[in-house]
Amino acid sequence: MRKYPLVIVSMVLACSLAFNVGCQKHSVFEPIVDSGSGTEQIESNDYDSIDCSSSKIKASSYVSGCEPYKAFDGNTATYWQSQNSSPQWINVDLGKVMDFNQIKIFWGSSFARKFTINVSSDGVSWTTVHSGAATKYGWQVITLSATMKWARFIGVYCYDRSASWGNQIIEVKILNASYYSYYTDASGLKIVTNPSDISALVNKDRNLSSSYAPSDLVVPNVPFLVAEYMEKKNVRKEAALALEKLFAGAAANGYSLLAVSGYRSYATQTYLFNQNVLKYGSEEAANKVSARPGQSEHQTGLAMDISCMSQGGYLTEAFGETPEGKWLAENAHNYGFIIRFPLGKESITGYNYEPWHIRYVGVDHAKAVKTAGLTLEEYLYRIALK
């Protein structure tokens, strides 16, 4: 049995600080891996660990120095950085459930012929979200098998290693989390860097780039208020399929819905906002009912405004009191949609009550938002990232 020491280092998540932490040497047996079956066999008789904080890193070999948390710039969190030797496998406890869809690994000179990335919410039940080979010495960005992953634990395991065991995992980062994935532009605006993620948060504090447009816009097969083709008939493909199911579900229960307005480009939103400024007399007043360009969910292609014939297709608060509006509020989550701007949450969303505006977030998240009675902001801040 070969012995390889263990490193457990504390990780501190903060948006503006960076730390250099010296790592202490501890001991653990590395899992013995059968490269054919991928089965791990672990023996341990001298297992030392120090819980330095709420978070831990376990690895198959020690380093004489490390930076468990190097930087946090709103887009990427660094959870492991070796200064000298590096491990063959590493387990990272993020300390809380995080939302991410990519992992970035820096491979050493003797990289793995095969490796897997595994995630877990409890450290007991694990799901393999990627299996592949290290590309070369240096950085490799891995997009996970699902659009996004919510997990607290990440395990990276190297199999079928090259003849020289050498360095393997030098650095590990997670990136593209919907809550904190952004950069700040020259004017001080926060620009969302993962707008195609269905959990991406767009609001008055988090902007879409003026150049962003979804690549998979389609017109869903549902009844629209207007017959002719218009830009606003489009939504993203995944949202379109869900919208068709929602309309079919409404019809099966005797309710006839009308789709009014979906995707809007940055240019279209600019025009509409300027029109509302003229209508309401000021930008501040207009911004209670209309998003500034770059701050509209409609630009994501994941939102649709809904009405019904009894309302003449108009978008008013009265829709929420119609049988169709009540059905939508009580059932949208079953199809992956939420009422984005609910009544009583104006101080959180920044917008007046809009019973007609639904946003696609996927069934799991929509059900969680509905059950908790929260806005998307509250859900992402308080539930998913607690």
Please list the active-site residues: 354
3-class secondary structure per residue, 151-190: EEEEEEEEEEECCCCCCCEEEEEEECCCCCCEEECCCCCE
| Cβ(117)–Cβ(137) below 8 Å | no
CA 268 to chain centre: 27
User: Closest by alpha carbon to 239, among 338, 126, 164?
Assistant: 338
Say which residues have a Cβ less than 8 Å from residue 383's Cβ, sequence separation at least 6: 368, 372, 374
In angstroms, the Cα distances linking 147 to 122, 129, 178, 220, 293 are 21, 11, 11, 21, 26
Residue 82: strand pairing partners: 66
